[in-house]
Chain A
């Protein structure tokens, strides 16, 4: 084995972690500024010019904050749980390329940790693990709110994960590969967003739940469970949860960009490989803004409703989408590539039909609830 290769991997890992940490810090700043603008406020503007040192101030504050461990907490698990939450957020991006390869010090260096041939499977697997940290944190805190938050978190996981898994099948079908790099390459001509609009919407909705973002932030529901699973955490242990949440936001945005928005692809990226990360950054920036926007706009959904939403709406819709994609591919193979466009047409039609049916159902359900209760 090549020592230089090993060194390259270590350096790349460190660089990835550093990038993630920095972008996490400035994502919090970005979120607070964007939220403030949406809410007719100014936002943080005291620490440093224009508030740009706010993340540093936050970090310093958290470092010097007292850490409390509740009496009768399960101490070991209590410490391990936040670490366990952070790990998946850090390693999930290992399989996503941030650009094509560049030449550095006479070496051909690919911009990305690795590109395994089951990248999508890896992402799904790692994404599911992160719920363990949350459940364990809730359980080990010896706190009722935390316990409820942990249970909610697991309930949430089983609500959205099916749809999440199915929505990824669309890009795999189109790219004929599970490697993220090949999926990105397959979008050389056209982004999968346009071929898979419904899949992208389902993926996006499910990932909002995956990263516990509003309107699916039930495990931490401030108004109900004060802070949910991390209510007993303070100082840097709390920071671990915080870092994990925001890194997951970045990660799912990168993954969505890779699966549906062509990843690092853009004009002239083959000629100038360094443009790749820039394009990716812009895409992720926009996706993150949508996340912040949703948080600023929508109230929280109730968690039993989320389960109904996931199982009765997202799951059949995602299944239909997979089937229609397969049909579209067959059509395209038989009658010519133009028939690929039947996929978005059919799936949007299916989306509208399901939407209409669901609207009807929700209306009758709440009407029944009213008449029942009266």
Chain B
């Protein structure tokens, strides 16, 4: 621990006294807070210490110790390292005071923790399941919860090759054999119900008396052309004006985290690709950082540069696609999207050259990257980032930015003030478009970003139009980084030590975060020294940015809701995990 954190620790100890206690376990950091004092401590941390940005809320099931620990990662919106606070709760009747009154950004995350881990947050305004459906039995992330097809606690599954022969689990455990339906339940004729709690929050839906007009509750999604996948917004409309909006998600849920805890550390690397499938390189990056922090290794120079190059190319490909699809949401019939995709394809060509796959790259390794650049690819990247992409970004800018209709549709729509943006834990372009210059590459630098010269893009209106503009700005900044990285790329090894299939990760916890294209992408990993992570949590920006969706959309028109959602830029693979 450095001098500075020691001092900070003293201050916090003197300020809170008995309420907090430093986490003394080996490999752990932060403070254990008494359950009753949590809200008080959090409020003081926010108001007195400046930790106003709640990045991640999650829970860990310490089954052997018979307790559940809720972990909060706090940051200052002015930059700097994290402050981790933890609350212990028993496994039976787990309950913890809700932090929503202090950090509204905890709303969806606490619902997720309740859904998957069974932590009851006292005082949460709307504690319903979020990723699983109403009526689901149990809380799947608990260590003693077993899925219908349970085989073994951790991969590699020994049972798959008992005598040296591999066989498929479906043969041994056929579909629907171990699924129990309640008596009289027919999945074919089942119509989803149990959404009374959701609709109850949407206001009156009954037909009124003679001259009153109705407020109509409408579902936008999950099967809707412009919710970017199976996302659903339940809106209460007065005419076309939105009075209430609730995001509903989980239609693409596959319990990424549970599967991740069954996988070995390295098996998770390709699995992170599937989170935000448009920017798999950034997903790899965050996960690699988190595990490397635990292992205490650093990749060699060349690998660091390659990582930065890939991460920034990902950002450009993501943003250019996001802009194209955003225009689509505004009703431009695919033309901007297709022109954007044209450029994205060129970037994917590079990904294919280095990793063998266009989208599911699986390129990063702990302590390095999987492969070096094949011959000629560096020249390709160079010509792309020096010549073609800057030209094409300018071209998009020229044709789109000052279009009257785009301005009329975007300006003043879906406004998120800076205070709200911080409070709602918005991240990435959404946060920066609201005038908060918070970019992890600068605020809490990782990898070698401190070597590059670039500006943190900020816009100040916080509306849909600024969220569009900021993506343009960020692409330009990424190009600057790329130009420097390509220029300075050193020769040398690309992997620290020998590439291993099974890495040894010492016990402890770590939180690795990167500035992904969609915002702060964090991985919270707890290892107990075994081959599989004990806890593997993803702080998904697409998911948490949706916390602010209602605030942005209320009062605007139904057409704006679609534009606002497009301007947040979500990918359902990451939202639902």
Direct contact of A and B (CB under 8 A): yes
- Set of chain A residues within 8 Å of B216, measured between Cβ atoms: 144
For the A-B complex, the count of residue pairs with Cβ-Cβ distances under 8 Å equals 102
CA distance A366 to B407 in the complex (A): 9
A46 within 8 A of B: no
CA distance A217 to B218 in the complex (A): 21
Known: A35-B333, A40-B338, A223-B331. A300 touches B559 (CB 8 A): yes
- Set of chain B residues within 8 Å of A302, measured between Cβ atoms: 408-409, 557, 559-560
A122 within 8 A of B: no
Contact residues of B between 387 and 420, Cβ < 8 Å to A:
403-409, 411-412, 415, 417
Closest Cβ of chain B to A365, distance in Å, is: 9
Q: Mark A250-276, 1 if CB is under 8 A from B, else 0.
A: 000000000000000000000000000
- Set of chain B residues within 8 Å of A299, measured between Cβ atoms: 327, 330-332, 403, 405-406, 409
Q: Is the CB of A362 within 8 A of B408?
A: yes
Q: Is the CB of A226 within 8 A of B559?
A: no
B328 within 8 A of A: yes
Residue of A nearest to B331 (CB): A300
Contact residues of A between 61 and 94, Cβ < 8 Å to B:
none
Q: Mark A213-254, 1 if CB is under 8 A from B, else 0.
A: 011011001111110000000000000000000000000000
Q: Is the CB of A221 within 8 A of B415?
A: no
Interface residues on B, range: 35 or more
Q: Mark B450-463, 1 if CB is under 8 A from A, else 0.
A: 00000000000111
CA distance A145 to B335 in the complex (A): 25
Q: Is the CB of A223 within 8 A of B334?
A: no
Contact residues of B between 321 and 341, Cβ < 8 Å to A:
327-335, 338-339
B528 within 8 A of A: no
B504 within 8 A of A: no
Candidates A223, A296, A374; contact of B225 at CB < 8 Å: A223
Q: Mark A25-42, 1 if CB is under 8 A from B, else 0.
A: 000000000010011110
- Set of chain A residues within 8 Å of B403, measured between Cβ atoms: 298-299
B280 within 8 A of A: no
Q: Is the CB of B557 within 8 A of A304?
A: yes
Candidates A41, A298, A300, A369; contact of B412 at CB < 8 Å: A369
Residue of A nearest to B326 (CB): A299
Known: A221-B331, A301-B409. A39 touches B226 (CB 8 A): no
- Set of chain B residues within 8 Å of A222, measured between Cβ atoms: 225-226, 331
B502 within 8 A of A: no
Candidates B224, B331, B412, B559; contact of A214 at CB < 8 Å: B331
Residue of A nearest to B415 (CB): A373
CA distance A305 to B342 in the complex (A): 32
Q: Is the CB of B332 within 8 A of A298?
A: yes
A303 within 8 A of B: yes
Scoring B331, B407, B408 by chain A CB atoms within 10 A of each residue's CB, the highest score goes to B331
- Set of chain B residues within 8 Å of A372, measured between Cβ atoms: 412
Contact residues of B between 310 and 367, Cβ < 8 Å to A:
327-335, 338-339, 342
Q: Mark B550-565, 1 if CB is under 8 A from A, else 0.
A: 0000000111101000
Residue of A nearest to B461 (CB): A370
A295 within 8 A of B: yes
CA distance A300 to B328 in the complex (A): 9
- Set of chain A residues within 8 Å of B144, measured between Cβ atoms: none
- List residues of chain B with CB under 8 Å of any chain A CB: 216, 218, 224-226, 240, 327-335, 338-339, 342, 403-409, 411-412, 415, 417, 461-463, 557-560, 562
- List residues of chain A with CB under 8 Å of any chain B CB: 35, 38-41, 144-145, 148, 152, 214-215, 217-218, 221-226, 295-305, 362, 366-367, 369-370, 372-374
Q: Can you sample 19 A-B contacts with CB below 8 Å?
A: A35-B333, A39-B339, A148-B240, A217-B331, A223-B226, A223-B328, A223-B562, A225-B558, A297-B335, A299-B403, A300-B332, A302-B408, A302-B560, A303-B557, A366-B407, A366-B408, A366-B411, A370-B412, A373-B415
